Amino acid sequence: MKDILEELASRRARAQAGGGERRVAAQHAKGKLTARERIELLLDAGSFEEFDMFVAHRATDFGMAEDRPSGDGVVTGWGTVNGRLVYVFSQDFTVFGGSLSETHAQKICKIQDMALQNGAPVIGLNDSGGARIQEGVASLAGYAEVFQRNVDASGVIPQISVIMGPCAGGAVYSPAMTDFIFMVRDSSYMFVTGPDVVKTVTNEVVTAEELGGASTHTKRSGVADLAFENDVEALAETRRLVDFLPLSNREIPPVRPFFDDPNRVEESLDTLIPDNPNAPYDMAELVGKLADEGDFFELQSEFARNILTGFIRIEGRTIGVVANQPMVLAGCLDIDSSRKAAKFVRFCDAFSIPLLTLVDVPGFLPGTAQEYGGVIKHGAKLLFAYGEATVPKVTLITRKAYGGAYDVMASKHLRGDFNYAWPTAEIAVMGARGAVEILYRSELDDPEKIAARTKDYEDRFANPFVAAEKGFIDEVIVPAMSRKRIARAFASLRTKRQDRPWRKHDTIPL
């Protein structure tokens, strides 16, 4: 028995050594942690239970039969984050560059299957050189098996991808189908074709960082949600995100202790809106003052900054927030902000996370670039997402709600449950000046008449009371009382049930 136990210990030690001291040192020299070190930081101490430690590849071509390290370049298993079950796989760049083989893929698929079966999130720590060339089509088949499980798990369990090194070619499509993507600055990148291929095909000269680095994907493409300075910060924020989410679509998000009075009166909100209707203000300030302890986990904070998305808690319960940001493009909706918010709304609806919408929107951004880019279709995505959402929906209009953008932003007509407005709200087809110039074109040469007409239009429509008279606004509330009113609204909606007509699936305008 002693000999067997020694053999087991020896095999475990070899497996845990990964690619050996030299490759581990090279990984550390790049400022990156090893696959196992990452898991240790992600999960609660001592909670990790590993699967398939001794799995080895089955390839024999190109001399592969002589090099069969245990684990085959990926560490898989389960553990807990703040005591709640999660499944995890962590690719090991020190073993064959973390490249995906047939058995490597099978290990990941086993984790995905178990997560679906048991109703728990999957977290993938990606650090891979791509498909293992020596295995040819077998490695490509492995990718497709992983992809299929990403599709099966979508909307059933949360899926989180943390890109902690290279992620190229077919490897990018698995993270792309997950719910959240985090990256690490200066050490992670994602692209379908690398810089060398780009240069060969299009004659463009571009670095890996410019082509698919964290800055590119968090600011320009919107592929990634957030970027962090190093592995440690990325894993810590992943733990924080998991704490906002339910384990599956059959559970509700966790309720956490809170020390912030739901009835808190925030006097500063009475003066948040500037006297000048064209002056900006920071909507993030309002979000922070509504949230328990001011805690706001913002997503895609550097992309489409004219809209805010993320999670807060009210009375210890997770709430998804979508809010126009007047500081950027006056809070207009455009292609990118519509896509960003639609994706977030659909995630929240899939996982029973109530939605709070804070509205200050002067309309959709005009221009040929927007029209040529398909703003009609992209704006319809957000409209569709709100219209199909059956979770509790509370909307607060703080200032402008003009035109079709008023409808899109969780209006009463899209089955908003509670639709509040501040006294400063302006709900109309368009701004007073634009409306008057259309209605009274014959008087444009008379500035005094136009000024009087504008004042008349403002008096009639630049307030929330016309909409309130029609029942489109449930209540005009005092800004300082917003947290109390919103908390009570969500509390009253905890037992909400709304059925939808049967269908195989919808046909959202993609």
* Mean per-residue pLDDT of the chain: 91
355-399 pLDDT, tens per residue? Answer: 999 999 999 999 999 999 999 999 999 999 999 999 999 999 999
Q: Tell me the C-alpha distance between 224 and 214, whole Å.
A: 8
Q: What pLDDT is stored for residue 475 in this prediction?
A: 96
Q: Which residue has the higher pLDDT, 458 or 476?
A: 476
pLDDT at 67 over 70: no
Question: Which one-letter amino acid corresponds to residue 33?
Answer: L
Q: Averaged over 278-294, what is the pLDDT?
A: 96
Give the pLDDT score at 63.
Answer: 61
Is the pLDDT score of 119 beyond 80? yes
Q: For residue 290, give the 3-state DSSP assignment.
A: helix
Task: Say if residue 95's pLDDT is above 90.
Answer: no
The catalytic site residues sit at 169-170, 404-405
- pLDDT tens string 160-194: 999 999 888 888 999 999 999 999 999 999 998 88
pLDDT higher than threshold 90 for residue 10: no
Confidence class of residue 97 from pLDDT cuts 50, 70 and 90? confident
**Tell me, what's the pLDDT at 354?**
98
Is the predicted pLDDT of residue 413 greater than 90, yes or no?
yes
How far apart (Å, rounded) are the C-alpha atoms in residues 109 and 107?
5
Dihedral of CA 147/153/154/158: which sign? negative
If we measure between CA atoms, which residue out of 326, 32, 294 comes closest to residue 163? 32
- Whether the CA torsion 332, 336, 342, 348 is positive or negative: it is negative
120 touches 247 (CB < 8 A): yes
The CA-based dihedral angle spanning residues 337, 339, 341, 343, taken in that order and rounded to the nearest 10 degrees = -160
Query: Which letter does DSSP use for residue 178 in this model?
Result: S
Nearest C-alpha neighbor of 179 from the set 149, 200, 158, 163 = 158
pLDDT category, 405, cuts 50, 70, 90? very high
Tens of pLDDT, residue by residue over 483-506, are: 999 999 999 999 999 988 999 998
Q: Can you give the length of the chain in residues?
A: 510
- Residue 427 CB partners (closer than 8 Å, separation 6+): 397, 401, 402, 406, 421, 461, 464, 466, 467, 472, 473
Highest mean pLDDT among 26-30, 67-71, 313-317, 464-468: 313-317
Q: Please report the pLDDT score of residue 148 as a whole number.
A: 96
Q: What is the mean pLDDT of residues 332-344?
A: 97
Is residue 64 predicted with pLDDT exceeding 80?
no
Please say whether the beta carbons of 359 and 324 come within 8 A: yes
| Predicted structure pTM score | 0.94
CA–CA distance, 160 with 122 (Å, rounded to integer):
6
pLDDT digits (tens, 9 = 90+) for 205-223: 999 899 999 999 999 999 9
Identify the pLDDT of residue 3.
Answer: 78
SS3 244: coil
